Chains A and B, each alone.
Chain A
Amino acid sequence: MYPKDFRYTKEHEWVKLEGDVATVGITDYAQHELGDIVYVELPATGTKVEAGQAFGTVESVKSVSEVFSPVSGEVTEVNTELADHPEKVNQDAHGAAWLARLRTTNAAKDLAALMDAAAYEAYVAEQQKEASA
């Protein structure tokens, strides 16, 4: 379910690091909780963000959610496909519906603060238990 080579935030973003380039998206759990996604707003390339800073917005039919960057860096690319096809986030949150790529500045430290797949899976299970309690 949750790729082993990703790291995860408590706010349900994922990040995959290749060299110093981080690809960022929201998790499958997040897209499922949000429901039908109808709008994705992403930062301009060149935007500098700090880890934990809001850098985008994902809207479903019923809700508006900020997306927080898991890492510090500069946005080098955003997924422009999502402007016309936001529903892709529901279909492939961990793959084709990545949101942005960043050139990281402090990746090792940022990633050390995040969860691995097993920890995130346990975290989601805990959230689901709370929701149904």
Chain B
Amino acid sequence: MGAKMVNFGGWDMPVEYSGITAEHMAVRTAAGIFDVSHMGEIEVRGPHALDLVQWVTCNNAAKLTVGQAQYSGLMNERGGFVDDLLVHKRSDTHYFLCVNASNQDKDFEHFVRHNRFGAELENAGPRYTQLAIQGPRALGIVQRFTKLELAPIRYYHFALGQVDGVDCLVARTGYTGEDGVELYFSPEHSEKLWNRLLEAGKPEGLIPCGLGARNTLRMEASMCLYGHEIDDSTTPLEAGLGWITKLDKGDFLGRDVIVRQKEAGLTRKLVGLDMIDKLIAREEYPVFDPADGPEPVGHVTSGGPAPFLKRNIAMAYVPPSLAEPGTEVKIGIRSHQARARVVPLPFYKRPR
């Protein structure tokens, strides 16, 4: 398979196989398989596991039932993101966390530094690899390899079982906006499972997908990417992640900052943009207020063509006065001032 490789956080990762557009469309209409072995894993165990998770994350992990997962933010003292993550509750005394590859060590140190509860911590990255099978046909393809019943696993839930004889944590989660599963298992089985799933899924349109399509899919589904929409200086409220920020769950790192920000009002907000002019906004491009001077009032965090929606989209931070859907802004693209319109997020929502 002709994969183009890129070095990503020290890992050699495939950017694309058959082409980003084809891979993107396969996931929206059939299925795609992603090697995301670079994702990081941290295990938190012991009677005080929940106390630690609750203290460093903004979502309410106490609400999780065994077998449930939630999207959350790993917070710093300033109400910013150390990382974003998935928290899986394996038992009352065991939480399995999936974090970003490039943040794994930083995250682990953050957990260690704030562990005044005496929870047991394991930087478990080397013990796990991850394959994501995403798309409307993903479940059916994986189902042939497991006795676990996948259909009853609800969205953002998981189960433990064997897939093709390999012990897996099978989570109905993903980073594409489609239905599908993410499989966590021991790395020595990675190549075999990849090949077996790919071979079995081929007749149904399953193709290998790289980081390029992973990015366009998450962008079209308006999911945040660390280092783009969120970083250590953006708060969940600014990023439109108030829904994962449970200020009433009790105290947590950065909560006071977020509460004050909520009272005082935001100075910037993440919005979705549709390009009106036939130009492509990219990360870092400046955003201008058409009614204002030549100084940028915001910046693009991610942007590019949306292969399924077939238009050029972007996400950007703008002042709240420009955040209402329908508002027109301008993006500095080389020598152009390109017109764009604020639209509600998400850009894409899968039909259910």
Contact = CB atoms under 8 A, between A and B. Distances in A.
Contacts of A36: 19-21
Interface in B203-237: 212, 215-216
B307 interface: yes
B55 to A, nearest CB: 38
B140 to A, nearest CB: 28
Interface string A88-109: 0000000000000000000000
A57 B20 contact: no
B280 interface: yes
Given A57-B334, A62-B212, A35 B282 contact: no
Contacts of A38: 280, 305
A39 B280 contact: yes
A83 B20 CA distance: 20
B307 A61 contact: yes
A61 B334 contact: no
Interface string B148-167: 00000000000000000000
A102 to B, nearest CB: 20
Nearest to B215: A62
Interface residues of B, number: 18
Interface residues of A, number: 15
B82 interface: no
Contacts of B216: 61-62
Contacts of B215: 62
A9 B63 CA distance: 61
Interface in A59-118: 59-62, 64, 83
B239 interface: no
A35 B280 CA distance: 16
A69 to B, nearest CB: 16
Nearest to B19: A36
Contacts of B20: 35-36, 60-62
A3 to B, nearest CB: 23
A33 interface: yes
B19 A62 contact: no
A83 B277 CA distance: 13
A60 B280 CA distance: 10
Given A33-B4, A35-B212, A59 B19 contact: no
Q: Most chain-B Cβ atoms within 10 A of its Cβ — which of A41, A57, A61, A64?
A: A61
B86 interface: no
B16 interface: yes
A62 B280 contact: no
B334 A62 contact: no
Contacts of B19: 35-36
A35 B16 contact: yes
B27 interface: no
B114 to A, nearest CB: 37
A64 B212 CA distance: 14
Contact of B304 (A33, A41, A61): A61
A10 to B, nearest CB: 20
Interface string A9-40: 00000000000000000000000010110110
Interface in B251-308: 278-280, 282, 304-305, 307
B306 to A, nearest CB: 10
12 contacts: A33-B4, A35-B16, A36-B20, A39-B278, A39-B279, A41-B334, A59-B280, A60-B20, A61-B20, A61-B304, A62-B304, A83-B278
Interface of A: 33, 35-36, 38-39, 41, 57, 59-62, 64, 83, 131-132
Interface of B: 4-5, 15-16, 19-21, 212, 215-216, 278-280, 282, 304-305, 307, 334
In the A-B complex, the 6 residue pairs with the closest CB atoms:
A61-B20, A36-B21, A38-B305, A62-B212, A36-B19, A39-B280
Given A36-B20, A36-B21, A83-B278, 18 more contacts: A33-B4, A35-B16, A35-B20, A35-B212, A38-B280, A38-B305, A39-B278, A39-B280, A39-B305, A57-B334, A59-B280, A61-B20, A61-B305, A62-B15, A62-B215, A62-B216, A62-B304, A64-B280
